[in-house]
């Protein structure tokens, strides 16, 4: 093992140190072990794929499946301990399934997330943003995650689904607890209890919408379920949970990580404030440079696959490290430099292939509108604490901050 290797290996993917800056480890893996096997704390093997070209090719390769049943023989599958029923139901969602179920489920909701449909939400999103900024006005400092980055996407997705506004905060607490560990580790007892509560909540809401349909996505899906052959009840539940969680746990990190990135690159911040028409490109660069989804959700090899000279046996769990692919110098010139007007920015922050993010038009719209409004209203926004004091959430798949304390004004008259 050379000196450079010793300094970055081994690493703990859940540690604060790693979450704060995983990029040196990824640079090392890309150079020395682009197809790297490590283990989770529970002993489960996990392959990390870190080069852009490899991540791209795996995303398009149907030998890598999402549903573990398609990677194991029936006998092997039966030897795995069964998950509690509620989790079996939650896993009937498009992100955890393969063709043809994936296609059937995605087709049902695809239309509601096309750019054309999402653009109709523009005025309502603007209103939500303005209300949040109004509440911040008058404060000297706020936690930007708590006051802005979190409430915006959860309000939008909750309204789109048709969750009553008064239940939004309950959801936020549930979802927060649920994503800790993020799908690859077994849930603890309290997470299991939350899953049961979430399932019960949704079942009640389905019944209410069945009797009195509204103009929302849950009402539309309940009607599809009633027709019988395209969506069963577990799938309906799984769809609602996926959309709710994917719809806000990710965008919060785009807003939080993106803002932090601007604080860390003051010259880029000034450039952006000077010309807000650069915002769409800046959001793409934030997605690349500080990817909100660090790794795609698990895939499994349905046969032994050779990747970059390494053989991954059948039935292994494979994680595509999007944050690393997005900093691969083979794809991006000067990848470690944040450039809001970067040309040719084909990042993989939303994935690729059949599971390409369904919500990307919504995430982009929310991101662009949020940064525009925030920089207009609070042009003197500053980070309140040294970067080293920021705490990152302990999560394998997502990368985001617990809190982002900011000062809203220069407060130049204070003390006069």
Which residues bind to ligand HEM, rule: CB under 6 A?
94-95, 106, 157, 242-243, 246-247, 250-251, 254, 292-293, 296-297, 322, 349-351, 355, 357-359, 362-363
- The residue among 357 and 408 lying less far from ligand HEM, judged by its C-beta, is 357
Nearer to ligand HEM, 325 or 408 (CB): 325
Q: At closest approach, how far in Å is the CB of 216 from ligand HEM?
A: 13
What does the alpha-carbon distance between residue 40 and residue 22 come to, in Å, rounded to a whole number? 16
Q: Which two tokens stand for residue 268?
A: 């880029």
d(CA 14, CA 394): 5
Token pair of 112 as six digits: 């509601």
Closer to ligand HEM by CB, 70 or 409: give it: 70
Nearer Cβ to ligand HEM, position 106 or 265?
106
Alpha helices in 111-265 (DSSP H): 115-119, 122-136, 144, 151-161, 168-179, 189-211, 217-227, 233-248, 251-264
Give residue number: closest CB to ligand HEM.
359
For residues 45 and 316, is the Cβ–Cβ distance under 8 A? yes
CB of 79 to ligand HEM, least distance (A): 25
With a CB cutoff of 8 Å and minimum separation 6, the contacts of 237 are 89, 90, 92, 199, 202, 203, 206
The residue among 350 and 392 lying less far from ligand HEM, judged by its C-beta, is 350
Q: What is the nearest approach in angstroms of ligand HEM to the Cβ of residue 9?
A: 25
Closest separation between CB of residue 306 and ligand HEM, Å? 21
- The helix/strand/coil state of 73 is coil
Sequence-ordered alpha helix ranges (H) in 1-92: 3-8, 16-20, 23-32, 52-59, 74-79, 85-90
Nearer to ligand HEM, 181 or 351 (CB): 351
CB of 287: closest distance to ligand HEM in angstroms? 6
Q: Which residues contact 205 (CB under 8 A, 6 or more apart)?
A: 162, 163, 218
Q: How far is the CB of 352 from ligand HEM (least distance, A)?
A: 8
* DSSP assigned state of 398: B
157 vs 408, beta carbon nearer ligand HEM: 157
Contact 370, 129 (CB under 8 A): yes
Least Cβ distance, residue 369 to ligand HEM (angstroms): 13
């Amino acid at each position: 093992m050379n000196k450079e290797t010793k300094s970055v290996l081994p690493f703990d993917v859940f540690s604060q140190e790693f979450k704060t800056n995983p990029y040196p480890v990824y640079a090392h893996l890309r150079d020395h072990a682009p197809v790297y096997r490590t283990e989770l704390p529970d002993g489960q093997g996990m392959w990390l794929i870190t080069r852009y070209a490899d991540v791209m090719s795996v995303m398009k390769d149907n030998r890598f499946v999402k549903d573990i049943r398609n990677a194991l023989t029936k006998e092997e599958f039966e030897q795995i301990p069964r998950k509690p029923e509620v989790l079996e139901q939650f896993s009937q969602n498009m992100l955890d399934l393969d063709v043809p179920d994936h296609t059937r489920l995605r087709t049902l909701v695809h239309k509601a997330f096309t750019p054309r449909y999402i653009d109709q939400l523009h005025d309502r999103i603007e209103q939500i943003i303005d209300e949040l900024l109004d509440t911040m006005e008058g404060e000297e400092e706020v936690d930007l995650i708590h006051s802005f980055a979190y409430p915006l996407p959860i309000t939008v997705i909750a309204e789109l689904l048709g969750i009553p506004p008064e239940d939004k905060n309950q959801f936020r607490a549930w979802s927060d607890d649920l994503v800790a560990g993020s799908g690859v580790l077994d849930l603890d007892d309290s997470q299991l209890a939350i899953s049961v509560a979430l399932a019960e909540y949704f079942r009640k809401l389905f019944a209410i919408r069945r009797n009195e349909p509204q103009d929302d996505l849950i009402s539309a899906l309940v009607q599809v379920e009633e027709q019988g052959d395209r969506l069963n009840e577990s799938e309906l539940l799984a769809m609602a949970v996926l959309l709710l969680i994917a719809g806000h746990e990710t965008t919060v990190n785009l807003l939080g990580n993106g803002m932090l990135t601007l604080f860390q690159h003051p010259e880029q911040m000034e450039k952006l404030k000077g010309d807000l028409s650069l915002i769409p490109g800046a959001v793409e660069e934030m997605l690349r440079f500080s990817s909100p989804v660090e790794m795609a959700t698990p895939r499994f090899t349905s046969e032994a696959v050779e990747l970059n000279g390494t053989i991954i046996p059948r039935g292994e769990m494979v994680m595509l490290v999007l944050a690393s692919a997005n900093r691969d110098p083979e794809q991006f010139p000067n990848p470690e430099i944040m450039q809001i007007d970067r040309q040719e920015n084909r990042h993989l922050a939303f994935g690729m292939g059949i599971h390409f993010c369904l919500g990307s038009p919504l995430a982009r719209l929310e991101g662009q509108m949020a940064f525009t409004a925030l920089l207009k209203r609070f042009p003197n926004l500053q980070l309140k604490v040294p970067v080293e004091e920021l705490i990152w959430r302990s999560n394998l798949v997502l990368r985001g901050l617990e809190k982002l304390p900011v000062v809203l004004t220069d407060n130049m008259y204070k003390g006069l």
